[in-house]
């Protein structure tokens, strides 16, 4: 049972009743509940009034609310709401009160198309844009028809695409999520990988991607090479799963333009790429002294770029003083952090930073949580997992030559080190 | 240029202006006007008065305009049903449009207009659209069937749309298949036959093919549907273990929203085990020093729960809690003391050394929970705390300002102290007893005070036994979900039910029609102690339950069982129970109308309902020729052939599944032994708590069946324990005709709740021992009962000879009065009598070589004969 109604509201801005058997005024209870929760500093993504359940997400200052009286599939509803935000953003650049008002006719059309009787339908904005446009149409001439992609088996690519120069850009992006305890032990470390495509190819090309996949190499008996063991592999709809199941071949007809081909996760513990040691000493009523040591724990031929290390400081700190062995520091009072920026951080190096803050003699009564140090970075031409694209073959019946481009990058995901 | 200008119309005369614009000659103007109307509708203005004008714009060749008009119709058709009919023609026409987008739009919108008159016109276009050449139209039409079913289910069935949907499962297009599956699943929710789509291997293959090719949403519909399929050879799932290794995933991050933090904590506790307890504790300690009060409290509580759950970790948990107490953060200390009390209860006499540390914090406790916990600890370990009397006395000063919880605990604690150290504390105990009894107007407190007082003054030794008795250990995991509920929630994973941890029918209105989902029975389960709870005997349950028209309403007030003090219940006599008026008057005698005519309607009519005018010799009978021609043989049969061994007893079936009764499962059957009727039941406790205070009551029923004694369960039923109960019955209770006749509605109460179920009584338990009719009387009666009361039944596939048949039936008090052979056929003439005096006469024809017997039954109350037939059928086949 997916049955529900969707509202986009601030006050109710626009709504659509997909089931027709629910009182649309029930939504009037929603904002008061939100306000009450705000007062109580609470926040729940699912709230109830009587027999009505509201599942909501917030985008900027807009709430997107789904209302149901049934045992709806909550996971589906939230996914759908986020998908709607995506669709609206691709249509109107931004989703905000103004863009909804400016395009309310299109919004209605989209809402009519993306869901029917509570069942999500086509939510791919590229396909939607083929027949829901912002121009008025005459029916007799040139009125849009449902594009074959709406219902086709190959629903993600239209026929008759033409480019003068055929190219594919492939990005292998790995994000490192890390959680380290205050005593320096790694609580959690995982790599979330994603292979993104930008496809500029004519016709209906067949692509085949070869990775140094451990399972594949075991099948084919090539065990000497360095391989990676992928977990939780998720593919774009276009990848033929049966082929993958059979012989681990990743073959597909790609969607046009940008898309995510696959994602994966690795649980293998790797040395944290950037290791932080910190001493934060607080002398009540007088000062805070911060010492931070950052060490890059990857091979020296790689370099981390745009490294930003955010160290928490008390919210009432003042008169900052910094000293760094490299890079520069900035105090961001609105976030109560000192941000240490290192433009370029080669592997195997160690840098230091010291900061000194004054504290007011009258201490704030507000209790402050011990916030973690967070780190942002990106390391180009490097994958922490060691994943490699061995080949990307492109075959199209017209026989054109196409160039594949592959880039690798490793970046920080949710990278937190707790402090004392 | 944007649409926002449409929102800025001047208010005065707006509707009037719009009306004019909607009727403008120029198309462009009309389109602008419709946009303004929709804009007004969007901001919540009532523009329904423009209905006819907007509908006039429907016939347009502008797609955008058409969509707007449709949108308007969806919103206002319900408030203007008569005018909505004006739109029907356009809809029907649009369903034939050459552009599939228009056809789909029309059929989609029509389905959203919940006006009866419109739905009538929808059928034909819908039928065409379901077979449309364009898959976009077909997928839209598939959903439309579900819409229509929601408005008029009967029509959808009558029109054969369900079959059309099933056909679409084989559609070549994956999106069409997905929507057809979604529609069928949606319809199943409210359909008596929950299994609209037969998940046979063929259909499953079709779905799997579509699964590969459809959108992510379509995949969800198909997977949801497939998850209802129970493979025959499913291996035992290893659910909890899946997550155990992933406990790190649930470690709280600083920037998690608070609701995520709290939820993660819950999960961590559930996953805590000896293997990961060190990590979990380190995390919990970290959380306990955060700033969010709710989160910190919960983290402290979690440490206590770990101690109780993982015995090996108890010591470490206690020392962690002591560390936290040292922080002196007020709410941390209080929460810690509450959980330490629980740890003491779980591991008595193990950690008393820390009491001194706890006592240091006495003054900072300002929450009732924490105060009560501390008082309990002091009372429980009074003998080891030198200044226990001083500590407790300090609480007495503000006795009347304390919460009831604290007062009660303090009273008990001081009584404990007195029993342990009587010499020094006499004054203290008198003080608290007088505070509790004389100065308090709280009845609970006074009652407890008086009880202690009397105990102490009459028999101090007994008082000691009572007050200082050994306490049951607290349960390991108070937060476990009942296994039956858990099973159901797993079936609804990802839905609101799994968020609320409630079964769907607990929060969805009017969900009586919703079919409860179960996990498949897990074959080859090693744990033989726990039999499959719910899925197994589904058929008998369904059958039995279908007897009750609508559970809630009727049964809600069926039994106003007194839920008062449980001590009364076992003493309730059957007469008292019978005297409770269950449903108010309305005694609709089974016999009244039907027999009233010739016989006088007395319930005792059986013995004397032969008219006195029946002659001793018979005139040619109007009954079948066989009978009249062979009367002589009738009397040649010897009587009394079989020894009574007790009648046929149907196997026990589950009457009350545990999922419906908070873990109580009742299976049972009825029997008649030595002339006494019994209800033989097995009570099984599948909950986590023990069950006590059982009582049973019947609704009025066709045969006046009531229990002769209270339910003979006198000891608590412990978790996973079963008990066999034979409840003697008699038929002196109030009578109300039920449908079906042998339906018995039962209420069972225990300490948890009252539960209702119903069962069908096999009629043979009402067949009395003196059911053998005199031959003469038999003939006269047979003749006397009008022919239209004779009903014929077939007993199929039976391979017994006439004598065996007689013998078998006699065990159930069906007596053969005569046997004849006519043209190679054996004819048995039989009689039986019901407890309420109704006689049933039978003629059973057995042809050699033909396994199908013909049974003719005659009775003045012919509605009972089909139940008698059922008895024949089951007796002869078992």
Residue of B nearest to A144 (CA): B101
Give yes or no for residue B267 having a pLDDT over 90: no
Contact A151 B136 (CB under 8 A): yes
| Calpha distance B412→B376 (Å, rounded) | 8
Percent of chain A scoring above 90 in pLDDT: 46
The answer to whether the CB of B453 falls within 8 A of the CB of B433 is yes
- Residue B568 counted as domain residue: no
Judged by CB atoms closer than 8 Å, whether chains meet at A146 and B136 is answered as: yes
Residues of B within 8 A of A42 (CB-CB) are: 258-259
How far apart (Å, rounded) are the C-alpha atoms in residues B518 and B534? 7
Kindly determine whether residue A117 and residue B495, on different chains, have CB atoms separated by under 8 Å.
no
- CATH class label, A5-129: alpha beta
Q: Does A368 sit within 8 Å of B254, measured CB to CB?
A: no
**pLDDT tens-digit profile of A228-238?**
888 888 898 88
Same domain for B771 and B757?
no
CATH of the domain at B103: 1.25.10.10
Angstroms from A149 CA to nearest CA on chain B: 10
Instruction: Give one DSSP letter per residue of A40-86, joined into a string.
Output: TT---SEEEETTEEEEEEEETTEEEEEEESS--BHHHHHHHHHHHHH
- B76 and B162 share a domain? yes
Angle at B43 between CA B39 and CA B47, to 5 degrees: 65
Asked if residue B521 is part of any domain, the answer here is no
Per residue in B726-758, pLDDT (tens digit) is 999 988 888 888 888 899 999 898 888 888 888
Residue B42: closest CA among chain A residues belongs to which residue? A14
Q: Which of A125-129, B117-121, B514-518 has the lowest mean pLDDT?
A: B514-518
Pick one of 3.60.40.10, 2.60.40.1170, 3.60.15.10, 1.10.8.60 as the CATH number of A167-270+384-418.
Answer: 2.60.40.1170
Residue B505 is predicted with a pLDDT of: 80
Global pTM value: 0.63
Identify whether B180 is part of a domain.
yes
Min CA distance, A80 vs chain B (Å)?
A: 9
pLDDT at B512 over 50: no
Angle between helix B293-309 and helix B330-346 axes, rounded to 10 deg: 20
- pLDDT of residue B189 exceeding 60: yes
> Looking at residue B720, which CATH number applies to its domain?
2.60.40.1150
Structure confidence by residue, pLDDT tens digits, A57-67: 999 888 999 99
B171 and B25 share one domain: yes
Residue B176 lies in a domain: yes
The answer to which of A171-185, B259-273, B583-597 has the lowest mean pLDDT is B583-597
Report residue B152: phi and psi, to 5°: -145, 85
Section B473-486 average pLDDT:
67
Question: Residue B134: pLDDT above 50?
Answer: yes
Is B356 inside any structural domain?
no
Please state, rounded to an integer, the average pLDDT across all residues of chain B: 79
Residues 812-851 of B with CB under 8 A from A: none
Give the model's pLDDT for residue B516.
57
Residue B139 pLDDT more than 90? yes
Residue B49 pLDDT class (50, 70, 90 cuts): confident
Mean pLDDT of A301-316: 93
* Same domain as B772, residue B755: no
**Does B182 map to a domain?**
yes
> pLDDT value at position B76?
86
Structural domain count, chain B: 3
Q: Do the Cβ atoms of A364 and A291 come closer than 8 Å?
A: no
N residues, chain A: 420
C-alpha distance from B96 to closest chain A C-alpha (Å): 14
- Torsional sign, CA A383, A387, A388, A391: negative
In which domain, by residue range, is B674 found? 653-761
B370 and A CB contact within 8 Å: no
> Could you give the CA distance from residue B90 to residue B247 in angstroms, rounded to a whole number?
60
Contact A73 B248 (CB under 8 A): no
B53 with B167, same domain: the answer is yes
Inter-chain contact B494–A74, Cβ cutoff 8 Å?
yes
Looking at the fold, whether B715 and B810 belong to one and the same domain comes out as: no
In the structure encoding, which two tokens stand for residue B352, read together? 């008393």
Q: What is the pLDDT of residue A149?
A: 64
Q: Do A146 and B104 touch (CB under 8 A)?
A: yes
Q: What band does B777 get if pLDDT is binned at 50, 70 and 90?
A: confident
Is it the case that residue B575 has pLDDT exceeding 70? no
Task: Give B-chain residues touching A53 at CB under 8 angstroms.
Answer: 496, 507
For chain A, domain boundaries: 5-129, 167-270+384-418, 274-361+371-380
Q: Are residues B85 and B116 in the same domain?
A: yes
**pLDDT for A199 beyond 70:** yes
pLDDT of amino acid B27: 81
Q: Tell me, yes or no, whether B823 lies in a domain.
A: yes
Residue A24 to residues A31, A61, A68, B125, Cα–Cα distance (Å) = 14, 22, 11, 29
Q: How far is B235 from chain A (nearest CA, A)?
A: 22
Q: What percent of chain A has pLDDT over 70?
A: 90
| Backbone angles phi and psi of B387, in degrees to 5 | -105, 30
B504: chain A residues, CB-CB within 8 Å:
70-71
Residue B551's pLDDT is: 38
Q: Do A371 and B224 touch (CB under 8 A)?
A: no
The larger pLDDT score, comparing residue B777 to residue B133, is at B133
- B741 and B869 in a single domain? The answer is no
More confident residue, A145 or A370: A370
Average pLDDT over residues B757-775: 88
- Look at residues B149, B171, B198 and tell me which one is the last residue of a structural domain: B198
Contact B494 A75 (CB under 8 A): yes
Q: With respect to CATH, is domain A274-361+371-380 assigned 2.60.40.1170?
A: yes
Is B497 at the interface with chain A, CB within 8 A? yes
- pLDDT band, residue B825 (cuts 50/70/90): confident
User: Which chain B residue has the Cα nearest residue A236?
Assistant: B216
> Is B792 part of any domain?
yes
Nearest to B212 among A44, A72, A241 (CB): A241
B75-96 pLDDT tens trace: 888 888 888 888 888 888 899 9
Same domain, B683 and B748: yes
Q: B 381-400 residues with CB below 8 A of A?
A: none
A71, A117, A140 member nearest B508 (Cβ): A71
Q: Is the pLDDT of residue B492 over 90?
A: no
Average pLDDT of the residues in B795-817: 87
> Where does a domain end: B168, B198, B228?
B198
User: Which residue is closest to A240 within chain B, CA to CA?
Assistant: B212
* Chain B residues touching A74 at Cβ < 8 A: 494-496, 498-499
Contact B44 A3 (CB under 8 A): no
Statement: residue B562 has pLDDT above 50: no
Asked if A101 lies within 8 A of B224 by C-beta distance, the reply is no
Mutation test of the interface with chain A: which of B67, B293, B495, B502, choosing the one with the most A Cβ atoms within 10 A? B495
Residues 698-737 of B with CB under 8 A from A: none
**pLDDT tens digits for range A100-146:** 888 888 999 999 999 999 999 989 888 888 888 765 444 444 566 76
Phi, psi values for residue A349, rounded to 5°? -110, 165
Predicted confidence (pLDDT) at residue B321 exceeds the cutoff of 90? yes
The widest CA-to-CA distance across chain A, in whole angstroms, is: 79
When mean pLDDT is compared across A76-85, A286-295, B765-774, the lowest value belongs to: B765-774
| Co-location of B78 and B41 in the same domain | yes
Instruction: Output the pLDDT for position B479.
Output: 57
Q: Do domains A5-129 and A274-361+371-380 have the same CATH topology?
A: no
Q: State the burial class of residue A312 (Cβ atoms within 10 Å of its Cβ: 0-12, 13-18, 19+).
A: buried
Read off the pLDDT of residues B698-722 as tens digits, 9 standing for 90 and up: 988 888 899 988 888 888 888 888 8
The minimal CB distance from A139 to the residues B99, B114, B507 is found for B99
Q: Is B832 helix (H, G, I), strand (E, B) or coil?
A: strand
* Chain B hits for A370, Cβ within 8 Å: 289-290
% pLDDT > 70, chain B: 80
CATH number assigned to the domain comprising residue B846: 3.30.310.10
Kindly tell me if the per-residue pLDDT of A18 is higher than 60: yes
- pLDDT > 50? residue B567: no
Based on the domain organization, do B715 and B836 belong to the same domain?
A: no
CB-closest option in A72, A105, A124 to B495:
A72
Domain check: are B712 and B832 in the same one?
no
């Amino acid at each position: 049972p997916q049955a529900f109604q969707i509202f986009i509201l601030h006050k109710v801005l626009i709504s659509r009743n997909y089931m027709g058997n629910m009182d649309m005024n029930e939504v009037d209870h929603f904002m008061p509940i939100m306000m009450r929760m705000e007062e109580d500093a609470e926040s729940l993504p699912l709230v109830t009034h009587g027999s009505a359940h509201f599942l909501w997400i917030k985008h900027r200052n807009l709430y997107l609310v789904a209302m149901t009286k049934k045992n709806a599939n909550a996971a589906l509803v939230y996914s759908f709401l986020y998908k709607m935000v995506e669709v609206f953003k691709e249509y109107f650049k931004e989703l905000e009160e103004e863009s909804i008002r400016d395009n309310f006719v299109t919004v209605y059309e989209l809402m009519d198309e993306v869901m029917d009787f509570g069942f999500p339908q086509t939510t791919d904005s590229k396909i939607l844009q083929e027949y829901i446009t912002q121009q008025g149409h005459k029916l007799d001439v040139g009125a849009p028809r449902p594009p074959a992609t709406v219902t086709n088996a190959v629903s993600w690519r239209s026929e008759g695409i033409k480019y003068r120069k055929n190219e594919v850009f492939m990005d292998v992006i790995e994000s490192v999520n890390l959680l380290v305890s205050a005593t320096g032990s790694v609580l959690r470390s995982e790599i979330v990988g994603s292979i993104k495509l930008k496809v500029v190819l004519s016709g209906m090309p067949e692509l085949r991607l070869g990775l140094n996949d451990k399972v594949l190499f075991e099948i084919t008996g090539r065990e000497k090479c360095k391989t990676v063991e992928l977990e939780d592999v998720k593919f774009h709809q276009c990848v033929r799963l049966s082929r993958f199941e059979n012989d681990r071949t990743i073959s597909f007809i790609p969607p046009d333009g940008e898309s995510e081909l696959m994602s994966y996760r690795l649980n293998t513990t790797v040395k944290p790429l950037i290791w932080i040691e910190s001493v934060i000493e607080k002398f009540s009523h007088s000062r805070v002294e911060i010492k931070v040591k950052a060490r890059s724990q990857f091979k020296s031929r790689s370099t981390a770029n745009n490294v930003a290390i955010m160290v928490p400081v008390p919210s009432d700190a003042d008169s900052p003083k910094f000293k760094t062995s490299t890079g520069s520091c900035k105090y961001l009072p609105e976030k109560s952090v000192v941000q240490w920026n290192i433009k370029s951080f080669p592997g195997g190096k160690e840098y230091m930073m010291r900061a000194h803050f004054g504290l007011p003699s009258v201490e704030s009564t507000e209790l402050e949580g011990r916030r973690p140090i967070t780190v942002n970075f990106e390391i180009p031409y490097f994958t922490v997992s060691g994943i490699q694209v061995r080949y990307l073959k492109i075959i199209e019946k017209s026989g054109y030559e196409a160039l594949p481009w592959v880039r690798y990058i490793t970046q920080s995901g949710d990278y937190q080190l707790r402090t004392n | 240029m944007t649409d926002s200008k449409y929102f800025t119309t001047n208010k005065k005369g707006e509707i009037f202006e719009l009306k004019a614009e909607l009727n403008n000659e120029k198309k462009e103007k009309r389109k602008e006007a419709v946009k303004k109307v929709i804009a007004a509708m969007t901001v919540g203005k009532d523009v329904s008065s423009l209905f006819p004008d907007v509908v006039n714009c429907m016939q347009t060749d502008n797609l955008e305009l058409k969509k707007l008009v449709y949108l308007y119709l969806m919103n206002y058709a319900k408030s203007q049903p008569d005018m909505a009919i004006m739109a029907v023609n356009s809809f029907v026409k649009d369903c034939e449009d050459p552009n599939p987008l228009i056809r789909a739009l029309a059929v989609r919108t029509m389905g959203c207009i919940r006006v009866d008159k419109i739905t009538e016109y929808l059928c034909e276009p819908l039928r065409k659209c379901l077979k449309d050449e364009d898959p976009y139209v077909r997928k839209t039409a598939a959903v439309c069937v579900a819409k229509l079913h929601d408005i008029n289910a009967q029509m959808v069935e009558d029109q054969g749309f369900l079959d059309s949907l099933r056909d679409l499962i084989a559609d070549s297009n994956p999106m069409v298949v997905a929507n057809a599956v979604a529609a069928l699943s949606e319809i199943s929710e409210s359909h008596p036959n929950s299994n609209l789509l037969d998940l046979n291997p063929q259909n499953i293959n079709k779905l799997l093919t579509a699964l590969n090719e459809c959108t992510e949403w379509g995949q969800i519909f198909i997977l949801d549907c497939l998850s209802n399929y129970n493979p025959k050879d499913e291996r035992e799932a290893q659910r909890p273990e899946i997550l155990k290794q992933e406990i790190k995933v649930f470690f709280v991050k600083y920037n998690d929203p608070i609701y995520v933090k709290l939820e993660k904590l819950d999960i961590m506790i559930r996953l805590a085990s000896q293997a990961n307890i060190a990590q979990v504790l380190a995390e919990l300690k970290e959380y306990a020093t955060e700033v969010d009060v709710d989160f910190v409290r919960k983290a402290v509580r979690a440490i206590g729960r770990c101690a109780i759950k993982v015995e090996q970790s108890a010591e470490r948990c206690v020392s962690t809690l002591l560390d936290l107490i040292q922080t002196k953060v007020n709410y941390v200390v209080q929460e810690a003391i509450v959980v330490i009390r629980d740890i003491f209860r779980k591991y008595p006499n193990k950690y008393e050394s820390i009491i001194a540390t706890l006592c240091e914090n006495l003054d900072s406790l300002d929450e009732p929970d924490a105060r009560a916990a501390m008082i309990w600890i002091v009372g429980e370990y009074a003998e080891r705390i030198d200044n226990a009397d001083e500590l407790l006395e300090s609480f007495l000063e503000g006795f009347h300002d304390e919460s009831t919880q604290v007062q009660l605990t303090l009273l008990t604690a001081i009584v404990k102290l007195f029993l342990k150290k009587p010499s020094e504390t006499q004054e203290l105990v008198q003080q608290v007893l007088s505070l509790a009894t004389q100065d308090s107007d709280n009845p609970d407190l006074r009652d407890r005070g008086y009880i202690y007082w009397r105990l102490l003054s009459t028999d101090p030794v007994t008082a000691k036994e009572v007050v200082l008795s050994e306490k049951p250990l607290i349960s390991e995991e108070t937060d476990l979900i009942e296994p039956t509920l858990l099973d159901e929630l797993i079936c609804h994973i990802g839905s609101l039910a799994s968020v609320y941890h409630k079964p769907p029918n607990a929060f969805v209105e009017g969900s009586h029609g919703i079919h409860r989902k179960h996990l498949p029975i897990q074959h080859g389960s090693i744990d033989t102690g726990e039999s499959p709870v719910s899925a197994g005997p589904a058929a008998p349950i369904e059958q039995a339950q279908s007897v009750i028209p609508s559970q809630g309403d009727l049964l809600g007030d069926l039994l106003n069982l007194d839920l008062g003090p449980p001590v009364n219940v076992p003493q309730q006599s059957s007469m008292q129970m019978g005297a409770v008026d269950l449903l108010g008057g309305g005694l609709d005698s089974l016999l009244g109308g039907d027999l009233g005519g010739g016989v006088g309607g007395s319930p005792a009519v059986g013995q004397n309902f032969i008219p006195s005018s029946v002659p001793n010799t018979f005139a040619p009978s109007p009954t079948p020729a066989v009978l009249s021609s062979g009367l002589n043989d009738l009397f040649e049969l010897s009587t009394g052939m079989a020894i009574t061994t007790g009648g046929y007893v149907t196997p026990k079936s589950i009457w009350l599944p545990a999922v419906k009764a908070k873990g109580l499962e009742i299976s049972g059957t009825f029997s008649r032994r030595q002339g006494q009727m019994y209800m033989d039941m097995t009570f099984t406790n599948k909950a986590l708590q023990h069950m006590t205070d059982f009582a049973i009551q019947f609704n009025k029923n066709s045969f006046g069946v009531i229990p002769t004694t209270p339910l003979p369960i006198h000891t608590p039923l412990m978790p996973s324990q079963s008990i066999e109960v034979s409840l003697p019955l008699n038929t002196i209770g109030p009578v109300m005709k039920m449908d079906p006749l042998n339906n018995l509605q039962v209420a069972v109460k225990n300490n948890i709740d009252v539960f209702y179920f119903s069962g069908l009584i096999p009629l043979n338990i009402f067949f009395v021992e003196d059911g053998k009719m005199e031959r003469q009387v038999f003939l006269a009666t047979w003749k006397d009962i009008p022919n239209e009361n004779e009903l014929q039944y077939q007993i199929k596939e039976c391979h017994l000879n006439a004598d065996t048949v007689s013998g078998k039936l006699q065990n159930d008090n069906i007596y053969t009065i005569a046997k004849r052979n006519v043209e190679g056929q054996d004819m048995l003439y039989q009689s039986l009598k019901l407890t309420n005096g109704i006689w049933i006469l039978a003629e059973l024809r057995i042809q050699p070589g033909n396994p199908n017997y013909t049974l003719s039954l005659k009775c003045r109350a012919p509605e009972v004969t089909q139940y008698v037939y059922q008895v024949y059928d089951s007796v002869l086949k078992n």
